[in-house]
């Protein structure tokens, strides 16, 4: 699964890296993002838009926003057919902007947190789905989930799943609202190449989402 990630790039870097023409938000770096928090999302409805969504997908039929806590991730193997995500997979795909993510390795007495990022140091987009949920009181909220797949050779040392990272040359295809071929779309939901990623242990302070500082993604002695 993916339960915590970081976005350390500035808004200007994100605009440049993803070719964003329309910026509706100016996200500040955040180093320990947790479910239910607002995240920076890139969608495409005629043009690329950088917007804010709440992490935790709430289907249109849900009455309780707490439903989102159960849907921070969607499995790549079932996302195209699962009722909660099926329509969004066809029509509301997005990229969740990140620079890296955290995973915890279970030990005999404790869990060790690791930070995983691209060797290039560039920001990237998780494969995501979004939905505009209308609360009973009428408030409209953008909510989002991150798609996961089997772990690659690097990540499988600590966990059996990992978030799907869309390769740079496939981002426009994933975002294209006119693309409805499920086989092509599912073909993008693969583990990212391990050789292009790096992983190292970080401070156990990241166990608390309140610890949101640049030190959260600094390596510690493993």
- Residues catalogued as catalytic: 2, 103
Write out the DSSP string of 50-90: EEEEEES---TT-S-GGGGGG-SEEETTTTTT-TTTHHHHH
3-state helix, strand, coil in the chain (%, to 5): 20, 35, 40
> Which residues does 182 contact at the CB level (< 8 Å), separation at least 6?
80, 89, 90
91 torsion bin: left (phi>0), alpha (psi -120 to 50), beta (else): alpha
- H-only helix segments in 61-217: 86-91, 171-175, 182-186
How many CB atoms neighbour CB 175 within 10 A?
20
Q: Is 180 exposed, middle or buried (0-12, 13-18, 19+ CB in 10 A)?
A: exposed
Longest dimension (CA), the chain: 51
């Amino acid at each position: 699964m993916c339960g915590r990630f970081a976005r350390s790039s500035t808004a200007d870097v994100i605009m440049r890296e993803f070719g964003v023409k329309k910026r509706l938000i100016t996200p500040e770096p955040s180093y320990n993002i947790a479910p239910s928090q607002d995240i920076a999302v890139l969608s495409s409805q005629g043009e690329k838009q950088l917007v804010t969504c709440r992490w935790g997908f709430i289907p249109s039929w849900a009455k309780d926003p707490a439903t989102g806590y159960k849907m921070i991730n969607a499995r790549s193997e079932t996302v195209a057919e699962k009722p909660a995500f099926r329509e969004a997979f066809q029509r509301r795909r997005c990229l969740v902007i990140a620079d890296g993510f955290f995973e915890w390795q279970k030990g005999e007495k404790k869990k060790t947190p690791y930070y995983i990022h691209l060797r290039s140091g560039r920001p990237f987009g998780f494969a995501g789905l979004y939905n505009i949920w209308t609360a009973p009181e009428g408030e409209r909220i953008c909510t989002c989930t991150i798609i996961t797949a089997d772990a690659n050779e690097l990540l499988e040392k600590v966990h059996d799943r990992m978030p799907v990272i869309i390769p740079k040359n496939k981002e426009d295809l994933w975002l294209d609202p006119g693309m409805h071929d499920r086989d092509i779309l599912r073909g993008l939901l693969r583990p990212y190449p391990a050789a292009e990623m790096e992983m190292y242990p970080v401070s156990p302070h990241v166990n608390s989402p309140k610890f949101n500082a640049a030190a959260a993604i600094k390596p510690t002695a493993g």
